[in-house]
Structure 1
């Protein structure tokens, strides 16, 4: 008989001592990291890459959010999509730009289309072809191109965790989207 593993977000009372310092930072604020806390060594290792991909990226905040939204959409991750609708709005993305990440690249602003096509190539071909590499270097530089690849990999891993264990949306995100849902076209 196959048994489903259920890994709910770990509450504060059960938080592992090994990663106690992470609870007061990024890991304690989001349900995805509270799920990841079931494996403290993984969450510890994750922290440095998260710092770079989320906060220190060469893509800049808006481009990074475009990449994350497209990856979240491609993964079919409700949690990731919702998180980044709110984060995208907070960094200045319009609902139209956010919504466009769910559709064909032909309907996107030219810069957004390059980023979305790069995400799509990574999902579909598992590589960036020479033309895409050139387009990305022209748009975001070599560091930005490498950060795009790392961002897709990072959020793909999170998406697999989210899709496998289905943590609930974080309260603040659910409340924000209830008050201000993504408006239809």
Structure 2
């Protein structure tokens, strides 16, 4: 299936303020008063389940702003997930964040082309290996696990694995909901 075949119309777009119930209003207030500052992307469809949205956004806030791996490794993992699921919103939102966090443009281009990065620091290729194995095989090979553990330690390894699962959840939610990319965001090339 090509990326064009996966594009769906917006199915679960923004809700009108007048249509929000008390739980949804409270969830919107919590997310907009935190580091995210706005209800965008996956949180638009997730607002249909405000308790789930609250819990997910707390996990995501930890993973993005407090988790053990370096910021460039977290952002790189998110890009690999976005590429795997052909998720344009996730790519468009996180590609500039990855560059700002220190992921070299050559590494971003390799991920966009679904290739193992040959540039950047050694951890970039290791993260690509780990995320790709989790997404394609559902497991880390022993050698990848050992290398990741040696490079990052146990907490960062666990945080990285959960980052893959969390952003997969968001990618699939947005793919099913037809969440559009921000209009001015970079798009993955259809390869």
Taking structure 1 as the reference length, the TM-score comes to 0.82
Residues 91 and 188 of structure 2 are in contact (CA less than 8 Å); yes or no, is this contact kept in structure 1?
no
- 1:146 to partner: Cα distance: 0.4
Structure 1 residues 106 and 55: alpha-carbon distance in aligned structure 2, compared to 1, 3 A threshold:
closer
- 1:163 to partner: Cα distance: 0.9
Residue in 2 aligned with 1:71?
Answer: 81
Residue in 1 aligned with 2:116?
Answer: 105
> In 2, distance between residues paired with 1:74 and 1:90?
22
- 1:140 to partner: Cα distance: 1.1
1:113-152 → structure 2 map (5 Å cutoff): 113-152=125-164
RMSD over aligned CA atoms reads 2.5
SS of the equivalent of 1:107 reads coil
> In 1, distance between residues paired with 2:143 and 2:110?
23
In structure 2, runs of 5+ residues without a counterpart are 1-8
- 2:54 is the counterpart of 1:44: yes
Residues 62 and 88 of structure 1 are in contact (CA less than 8 Å); yes or no, is this contact kept in structure 2?
yes
Does 154-163 or 35-44 show the bigger shift? 35-44
Instruction: Name the one with the larger helix percent.
Output: 1
> In 1, distance between residues paired with 2:71 and 2:16?
30
Residues 92 and 185 of structure 2 are in contact (CA less than 8 Å); yes or no, is this contact kept in structure 1?
no
Residue in 1 aligned with 2:65?
Answer: 55
> In 2, distance between residues paired with 1:21 and 1:47?
12
Instruction: Provide, for residues 48-71 of structure 1, a one-character-per-residue CA deviation record: whole Å limited to 9, x for no partner.
Output: 211211111111211100111011
Taking structure 2 as the reference length, the TM-score comes to 0.80
- 1:27 to partner: Cα distance: 7.1
Structure 1 residues 23 and 113: alpha-carbon distance in aligned structure 2, compared to 1, 3 A threshold:
closer
Structure 1 residues 60 and 15: alpha-carbon distance in aligned structure 2, compared to 1, 3 A threshold:
farther
In structure 1, runs of 5+ residues without a counterpart are none
Residues 27 and 34 of structure 1 are in contact (CA less than 8 Å); yes or no, is this contact kept in structure 2?
no
2:174 to 162, 169, 184: 162
SS of the equivalent of 1:101 reads helix
Does 20-29 or 98-107 show the bigger shift? 20-29
Residue in 2 aligned with 1:175?
Answer: 184
